[in-house]
Structure 1
Amino acid sequence: MTQIDSAEFPALAEIAASIASRVGHTIREMRAQGVEIANTKSSLADVVTAADGEAERLITAALRKARPNDGILGEEGASVEGSTGITWVVDPIDGTVNYLYDLPGYAVSIAATVEDGAAGTMSDGRRAVAGAVYVPTLDELFEASEGGGARLNGRTLRLQESPELALSLIATGFGYTAERRAEQAEILRHVLPQVRDIRRLGAAAADLCNLAAGRIDAYYERGLQPWDYAAGVLIARESGATILGRDENTLPGEALLIAGPRTLATDLRKAIHLA
């Protein structure tokens, strides 16, 4: 297993931030010219736009130029084997339905990940060590490196004390298949009476960054894929958030991902399990 020098992490974060910002500006310009549905994924409601493919192509080309020997895994099919131990996990447009409807909550997410089983590893067997999320409509650039903290447009982010569960604003997301939505609705029906309120913004990466920025108190979702959470989890974790899975024996990821201050995250997990 290739060992990665942690001294590289800040430079990797700079690469992610630069590319995410550039591509973010491009997809916003493309959106202003109109949007074209290119395909669907898990259901007819789960769309892929032409901009998704173009954004992933631009990100892949930029990463190959900056780091030619690294691997790449992209939501829209990019797959490059690497030899350095680093794999870039890319979501070219997180929140594609928001993009389709010209709603502001979409983002470009890029993370450098390693596979070594250390603390912070997710259920896909990798952990992000550097990454960036750029929200074009707000011109907000979130970035972080492992051990180096998280920042929003250069300002350090640090999670504040959270309220108790009953006074907490919780974000979540829904899948696109009828079966998954029915399951998520049942969980929501049980959790909603126990919290201040729920927000469903439509982009996991942006939700995790909003947690880091103190705009929500905690976040949970089932069914996430690595590109949905790789950079966002790192940014949340580096701001001080605890990341939990379904139970103590399950790593965070597709089965369940909860993020928030430790006590609140633990209480939220208990509430979800009661559903």
Structure 2
Amino acid sequence: MAAPGSPNHLHTAHDLAVRLARQAGELQVRERAGITAHTVKAHANDLVSHVDLASEALIVEGLRAAFPDDGVLGEEGGGVTGRSGRRWIVDPLDGTRNYLAAAGPWSVCIALQDGPTDDDLALAVVHDPVVGETFSAISGEGAFLDGVAVTASDRTRLGEAIAGLSFDPSAATKQLMVGVIGALLPEVGDIRRIPSALDLAYLACGRFDCAVLAGTKIWDVAAGMLLAREAGVVLGGIDGHPSPALILAAAPGLWEAFSTSNAAEHALGAAAALRGTGS
């Protein structure tokens, strides 16, 4: 195996993450029809099933076998502390409500963080099990969909833009997002609400032109943020920095209009309110 930190090491890690994400996706598709129960976590719309847990175990075991010194942060608690300074961030099933209800897309998300901040993301994989698409990126090498390079939209008119919307469906977040959605709808061509990782992946390949993501967790957005950056998407947020609390994102030609729009102002206000309440 290549030395840690080398380009070959990152490509080896990337290939493993792609393989594990696809294996977890196959498990999810296979098990979907047989799910009979799930558990509520933080609130009534925050769900977990045995498939979430099995998917995380599959991914974490695969990563730990190949990179035993790396840390792992898993949404469902499957994490371990590492010694290498690198950390894998895993959301085994982003969009569990969609998965359980057969009401929309979901994805498998794996990111590698090689440093202490969200800016130190080294690689990312977002896999859509239903359509079989795999988005991936290595820092400095661009974003790809099934191995083919992708870039952000070339849209320049905000009124024609497709905007992605992702947020935690807790009661507090939904109430604060009312103003964001009300401001966003008149300003853009249309909106789509999908899970966070696919929202950012769709920005990376130009399917969406801009997006607001609010009240998420790091495992929801880590892989998607690197994909978007590598594709040329502009990212901002509270104090100008994207974070799980708030990500404002847009294609380069839309960023100025989008970042100064009423929707962006409402989103910044909502995120500040959420942060103030601890939600």
What is the TM-score normalised by the length of structure 1? Answer: 0.89
- Mapped to 2, the partners of 1:82 and 1:191 lie a distance apart of 42
- Mapped to 2, the partners of 1:65 and 1:274 lie a distance apart of 46
Shift of 1:263: 4.4
Q: Retained in 1: the 8 A contact 2:152–2:209? A: no
SS at match of 1:274: helix
Shift of 1:73: 0.1
Query: Which position in structure 2 is the counterpart of 1:257?
Result: 247
Query: Which position in structure 2 is the counterpart of 1:141?
Result: 134
Shift of 1:265: 3.1
Of 129, 139, 150, the residue aligned with 1:157 is 150
2:2 is equivalent to residue 22 of structure 1: no
- Mapped to 2, the partners of 1:42 and 1:223 lie a distance apart of 13
Q: Retained in 1: the 8 A contact 2:73–2:89? A: yes
Q: Retained in 2: the 8 A contact 1:42–1:176? A: no
Q: Retained in 2: the 8 A contact 1:242–1:259? A: yes
Query: Which position in structure 2 is the counterpart of 1:129?
Result: 122
Of 257, 265, 277, the residue aligned with 1:274 is 265
Q: Retained in 1: the 8 A contact 2:40–2:47? A: yes
- Which of structures 1 and 2 has the larger relative contact order (alpha carbons within 8 angstroms, sep 6+)? 1
Shift of 1:162: 1.7
Query: Which position in structure 2 is the counterpart of 1:179?
Result: 172
- Mapped to 1, the partners of 2:254 and 2:205 lie a distance apart of 16
| Structure 2 segments unaligned to the other structure (5+ residues) | 267-279
2:196 is equivalent to residue 204 of structure 1: yes
- Mapped to 2, the partners of 1:43 and 1:168 lie a distance apart of 32
String of CA shifts for 1:166-225, please: whole Å, max 9, x gaps: 211100123222111011111111121111111112x11111111112111111111111
2:218 is equivalent to residue 218 of structure 1: no
The Cα RMSD (Å) is: 1.7
Shift of 1:233: 1.0
Shift of the 149–107 alpha-carbon distance from structure 1 to 2, 3 Å rule, reads: same
Q: Retained in 1: the 8 A contact 2:153–2:203? A: no
Query: Which position in structure 2 is the counterpart of 1:40?
Result: 40
Query: Which position in structure 2 is the counterpart of 1:96?
Result: 96
Q: Which runs of 4+ in 1 moved over 6 A?
A: none
Shift of the 194–90 alpha-carbon distance from structure 1 to 2, 3 Å rule, reads: same
- Mapped to 1, the partners of 2:222 and 2:70 lie a distance apart of 16
Shift of the 199–87 alpha-carbon distance from structure 1 to 2, 3 Å rule, reads: same
- Mapped to 2, the partners of 1:98 and 1:273 lie a distance apart of 27
SS at match of 1:191: helix
Shift of 1:242: 1.4
- Mapped to 1, the partners of 2:225 and 2:244 lie a distance apart of 13
Letter in 1 for 2:230: E
SS at match of 1:215: coil
Shift of 1:11: 2.2
- Mapped to 1, the partners of 2:78 and 2:96 lie a distance apart of 17
- Mapped to 2, the partners of 1:75 and 1:231 lie a distance apart of 13
2:112 is equivalent to residue 112 of structure 1: yes
Q: Which has the higher helix share?
A: 2
Shift of 1:239: 1.2
| Structure 1 segments unaligned to the other structure (5+ residues) | none
Shift of 1:151: 1.0
Shift of the 266–225 alpha-carbon distance from structure 1 to 2, 3 Å rule, reads: farther
2:2 is equivalent to residue 9 of structure 1: no
What is the TM-score normalised by the length of structure 2? Answer: 0.88
- Mapped to 2, the partners of 1:50 and 1:269 lie a distance apart of 40
2:70 is equivalent to residue 74 of structure 1: no
Shift of 1:42: 2.2
Shift of the 220–274 alpha-carbon distance from structure 1 to 2, 3 Å rule, reads: closer
- Mapped to 2, the partners of 1:112 and 1:35 lie a distance apart of 33
Shift of 1:245: 1.5
- Mapped to 2, the partners of 1:41 and 1:165 lie a distance apart of 37
Q: Retained in 2: the 8 A contact 1:9–1:146? A: no
